[in-house]
Amino acid sequence: MRASVYDGASYNVMAGLTLSYTTPFALAMKASTTQIGFLAGFPYLAMFSTQLVSPMLVEKVGSRKKICVFFSILQALMWLPLLLIPYIFHSHQVWYLIAFFTLVTAFDTIGNAPWNSMMAEIVPGNIRGRYFSLRTAISNMVLLISSIVAASILQAYTKNIFIGFAIIFAGAMIFRFFSAYYLSRMAEPTFQAPKIKQPSILDLSRTLGSTNVGRFILFNCLIQFTSNFASPFFSVYMLRDLKFSYLTYILITATGTLATLAFMPFWGKRIDKFGAIKVLQLASIVMPMGPLMWLFSHNVVYLCGAQVLGGFSWGGYNLVLGIFLYYATPLENRTRYFALSNALMFGGAALGSMLGGIIAPIIPAVMKNSLLTIFLISALGRIVVMFIFLPHISEVRKVEKISIKEMAFSDFKVSNLKRISNNTVQRINHIWNNRRQ
């Protein structure tokens, strides 16, 4: 569990140096809106494909850890040709970026299902919410810091921007090697191939609409579709249309990460106590508000507020995503369920990204910008998916019964507010007295 925390921290240095900067890298190469959609969509298609072969690889190799470590090393190596694109290719640079970034993400995600299956056995069930909220909080803090470092490097190399990108992508490669090292240090639970033939991924997919876990997987697939219809284009809107600097861009982007980090203890405690589905319901209610807010102002402080709502909702949603499947899937076929869930999630994200990129240049503009129309459609789509699916997904554990409102404000009773207020006053007085001394 400790090695996994170090792995997550190292991995998220790589993610912080790259996650928010592949689109700016493409924009520096004069990418079109449609190409940005493909840059987001093609990697998701590759990720969709890798999930279908992942369980077979695990059963053939006989080790989930070996799969994770091997493909982590391959992903680290792929950052090298990607950072060299501006120097070795003089035409069609964006298409080479799409090709190499597709390989980067494919090698990344082929180990997702084996990793999730392994972690489900490593982490005790009674502390999963708290452990993963802690691991995610540490990872998000590292992600935030490395994102700011990357933005500072790019800002410093504005006049020679491709050198800046080369530096941050080289750093991503180094820290992915660290991540692979810590993965190799993890103790892997003994992998036992099923003694009897288990349903294939295709067999499982046929039962999605009739089972509780299947409806959860479908819900996630459609949320990814509606969200990725818009998510690749927030960067385009900020950097191309609003002409924000890299530092302003990462300030807004990092605010969402910081909000996710701040609310991790909130979500982890509630998942352990009240169950994953109540958390999912609250997160889903807030989720559409983020993109809707982008329609009404481009003030930086206001957009940071929109990101806070997004970080709050996505923090809860992403925490539920893995934990619910840990409880809802049978041990003997867990890897296949995770593979199916990931495949449909990535497939939905791919279709959403590419459809958004294709439609954005031709769709009628809201307030003189077609990207705002994309944001509006994405928000409305999330609302529709929520109303259709959430009433038909139920909790699989015995948890305390509570309303969404009570769960949201369970730490904010009058007595607690008085205690928090008194403690705050005492701390302010203590700080003030120290300053006077």
Give strand ranges (E) for 236-321: none
- Position 268 scores a pLDDT of 81
* pLDDT averaged per 10 residues in sequence order, the chain, 437 residues: 93 94 95 94 88 79 88 96 94 95 92 83 82 86 91 92 96 97 88 63 81 92 95 94 92 88 83 87 92 94 94 90 81 77 88 94 90 95 94 86 78 49 57 58
Say which CATH architecture domain 2-186+207-412 belongs to. Answer: Up-down Bundle (1.20)
Q: Is 64 exposed, middle or buried (0-12, 13-18, 19+ CB in 10 A)?
A: buried
CA distances for 73 relative to 57, 107, 170, 177, angstroms: 17, 9, 14, 6
Looking at residue 326, its pLDDT comes to 79
Under 8 Å between Cβ of 41 and 354: yes
Task: Give me the pLDDT at residue 260, please.
Answer: 84
Say how far residue 368 (Cα) sits from the centre of its chain: 30
Residue 418 is predicted with a pLDDT of 54
Three-state DSSP class for residue 292: helix
Q: Which of 274, 282, 272, 344 is nearest to 316 (CA)?
A: 282
pTM of the full structure:
0.77
Which residues are within 8 A (CB) of 34 and not within 5 positions of it... i.e. 6 or more apart?
Answer: 357, 358, 360, 361
